[in-house]
Amino acid sequence: MKNMNLYSRGDKLFVYINMALIAVFAISALYPFIYITAMSLSSGFAARAGTVVLSPVDLTLAAYERVMSDPAFWNSYKNTFIYTFGGTFTSLLLVIPGAYALSRPNLWGRRFWNLMVAFTMWFHAGMIPFWLNIRDLGLLDSYFGIIIAFAVNAFNIILLRNFFESIPDSFQEAARMDGANEFQILWKVFVPLSKPAIATITLFCIVARWNGFFWAMVLLTDEGKIPLQVYLRHTISALSDDEEFSSTLLSAPYSVETVTAAIIVCSIIPVLLIYPWVQKYFNKGIMLGGVKE
């Protein structure tokens, strides 16, 4: 099938047009990133004048200097790391044993517990009761609140549970006869056997945590605890509204746009760094996520 010589002329034309269209798609997916990078490296004046299209105009690091000189930026970066790693770790700590238990046929009430988990995918109390609950639990404005309140989601549990269920019973039975208890079976047999699935949910968690914005904005009022995404949001709106900032624009070597772009680049870089791993596993994950129930 892969031999081009077998193709008719019409087919070859079809293949080339198709490739060209795909290339257009890919470029349009990539272009905004190129544009933003170019913008972040351009001078405020060039940006204001609308001359930045593909590559930096009047190459300067002024925007980055301004971003990095703000201690709040570094603080929010640190917070994002705390939420990402703390959150992912907590998720795994809850989800792995939970999914294992839900996959065991000898768990009494298994259908009930599974339904209890799955039901939350279909019905959610909504924003207000959720927020009131967090408030009543005293978890507003706390690192722990953000980490714990979003530690589990039904999708990840079901994904991992399905994977565990696909492992033949005999592995578990063999380990049981070898004298392993449930914790040992989980840790020494199921976890190593489920590396792809666990990697998948780990990456899902990391990406979700890194990108998480809305609830962090709503639940955190203390500027010292906000993650990068919220900082980015605040900065963008602050810059846009800031009269003083606008009035200094002519003299400043950066503009609203270049600074925004610089923060964006700074916050995308970690995502790009783990993207190869994400790429490797999410394909699988999507398929594992043939979530039943």
Partner 1 sequence: MAMIDKESSAGTETIVPKLTMSQRLDRIQMHLRREWQIYLMLAPVIIWFLLFLYRPMYGLQIAFKDYSVFLGIDGSPWVGLEHFQTLFQSDQFLRALKNTLIISAMTLFIGFPMPIILALMFNEILNETFKRTAQTIVYLPHFISSVIIAGIIITAFSPSAGIVNTVLGWFGVDPIYFLTKPEWFRPIFIGSGIWQEAGFQSIVFLAAIAGVNPSLYESAVVDGANRWQMMWKITIPCILPTIIIMLIIRIGNLLEVSFEMIILLYQPATYQTADVINTYIYRQGLIGGQYDLAAAAGLFNAIVAFCLVMSANTIAKRVSKTSLW
Partner 2 sequence: MSGVFLEQIVKRYGAIEVVHGIDLEIDPKEFVVLVGPSGCGKSTTLRMIAGLEEISDGTLRIGDRVMNRVAPKDRDVAMVFQNYALYPHLNVAENMAFGLRIRKVPKDEIAKSIDEVAKILGLTEYLERRPADLSGGQRQRVAMGRAIVRHPEVFLFDEPLSNLDAKLRTQMRAEIKRLHNRLGVTSVYVTHDQVEAMTLADRIVVMCDGRIEQIGTPMELFNNPANVFVAGFIGSPPMNQFEARLEDSDAGPIAHANGTIIQLHGQEALRGSAGREVIVGIRPEHVMLTAEEGTAEIPISLDLIETLGSEALLHTHVGDQPFVAKVETHGEIGHLQGVNALHVKPERVKLFDKESGRALGQAA
Is 126 near partner 2 (CB under 8 A)? no
Residues 140, 193, 218, 239: which binds partner 2 (CB under 8 A)? 193
Of the candidate spans 130-138, 178-186, 201-209, 255-263, the one that interacts with partner 2 by CB under 8 A turns out to be 178-186
Provide φ and ψ at 152, rounded to 5°: -125, 140
Q: Does 180 bind partner 2 (CB under 8 A)?
A: yes
State the residue for tokens 């999708």: 155
CA Rg, the chain, in Å?
25
Q: Does 107 bind partner 2 (CB under 8 A)?
A: no
Burial 34-71 (b: 16+ CB within 10 A, else e): eebbbbbbbbbbbbbeeebeeebbeebebbbebbeeee
Min separation Cβ 291 and partner 2, Å:
25
Is residue 192 within the footprint of partner 2 (CB under 8 A)? yes
CA end-to-end distance (rounded Å), the chain: 38
Q: How many residues in the chain?
A: 293
Q: Which residue has the tokens 């990539």?
A: 30
Instruction: Name the residue among 149, 102, 91 with its Cα closest to residue 292.
Output: 102
CA distance 180 to 182: 7
197 binds partner 2 (CB under 8 A): no
From partner 2, partner 1, none, interface partner of 176 (C-beta below 5 to 8 A by class): partner 2
Nearer to partner 2, 169 or 223 (CB): 169
Instruction: Using the minimum distance from each CB to partner 2, give the nearer residue, 191 or 249.
Output: 191
Q: Which of 1, 4, 6, 177 binds partner 2 (CB under 8 A)?
A: 177
To the nearest whole angstrom, how small is the minimum distance from the Cβ of residue 13 to partner 1? 10
- Residue 39 or residue 189: which is nearer to partner 2 going by CB? 189
In angstroms, the CA 247 to CA 240 distance is 12
Site for partner 2 in 132-171 (CB under 8 A): 168, 170-171
109: tokens are: 């009430």
Residues near partner 2, by CB under 8 A: 168, 170-171, 173-180, 184, 188-189, 192-193, 195
